[in-house]
Amino acid sequence: MNRNKTIYILGVGHSTPLTIELAQDCGYEVEGLYHFEEGRTGESVYGIPILGTHADLFAEESLKHKQFALSMGNNEVRQKLFDALISKGGTLPNLIHPTAHIARSCSMGAGICIDSYAVLQPNTQIGNNTILRHHVLVCHNSTVGEHSFIAAHSIVGAYLTLGNNLFMGLGAIAISDKVKTIGHHAVIGAGAVLTKPVIPESIMAGNPARCLKSSPENEC
């Protein structure tokens, strides 16, 4: 067994089979799963054993020389686990499906998951621990922040800056030259068409998208 191509996955939930198959499609052997819930150790999920809880894993003195992927869609939970794994010496490789097209000038952080047929055009940047699902298009000269989730068939136009911990639902579109920025912790509903900048911590939905909710510090 090539130990450089073994990986462990944290999280047992709806997105777990996607992460398992992505890792396998990238040539990794999934050694086991870790779950937050006690009492499930020893179960087999999607053919992969649950080896223990997150607490069991982080009780180890060091995670150096071990590789991990995070399967949960919740950005905040994923960020906390990413930081904890890094602090313990763990490695989170980028999982990029073989059918994805990544421009040579694209730059990426660590722990990024990019599913099948996604396209990252030239001069794009993708931050740590961000997930891009199937058929996502990030157009040239755009930046996607850390710990974010972009659902399948979404489009990020050119020359946009997306903040950290944001969520874009299925088929959402951010139009080039109209949006410019999407703030940190924003939530973009499925099918939304963004035609203007999005303030931090807001919820946008519709076509054209309108603000449904915002924080007291950043009112619509």
**What string of DSSP letters covers the chain?**
--GGGEEEEE--STTHHHHHHHHHHTT-EEEEEEESSTT-TT-EETTEEEEEEHHHHHTSS--TT-BEEE----HHHHHHHHHHHHHTT-B---EE-TT-EE-TT-EE-SS-EE-TT-EE-TT-EE-TT-EE-TT-EE-TT-EE-SS-EE-TT-EE-TT-EE-SS-EE-TT-EE-TTT--EE-TT-EE-TT-EE-S-B-TT-EEEETTEEEEE-BTTB--
pLDDT at 3: 59
Q: Are residues 69 and 175 in the same domain?
A: no
122 and 203, same domain (yes or no): yes
CATH number at residue 143: 2.160.10.10
**pLDDT value for 38:** 87
pLDDT of residue 216: 80
**Residues 102, 202 share a domain:** yes
Final residue of a structural domain among 87, 104, 135:
87
Q: Are 99 and 6 in contact (CB under 8 A)?
A: no
Q: Are residues 26 and 120 in the same domain?
A: no
In a domain, 39, yes or no: yes
Joined together, the tokens standing for residue 91 give 């490695």
Q: Are 117 and 136 in contact (CB under 8 A)?
A: no
On whether both 83 and 99 belong to a single domain, the answer is no
Q: Do 32 and 107 sit in the same domain of this protein?
A: no
β partners of residue 182: 162, 198
Q: What is the pLDDT along the chain (220 residues), one digit of tens a residue?
A: 455 899 999 999 999 999 999 999 999 999 999 999 888 999 999 999 999 999 999 999 999 999 999 999 999 999 999 999 999 999 999 999 999 999 999 999 999 999 999 999 999 999 999 999 999 999 999 999 999 999 999 999 999 999 999 999 999 999 999 999 999 999 999 999 999 999 999 999 999 999 998 888 777 7
What pTM, to 2 d.p., does this model score? 0.94
Domain that holds residue 157: 95-211
Number of structural domains in the chain:
2
Both 169 and 196 in one domain: the answer is yes
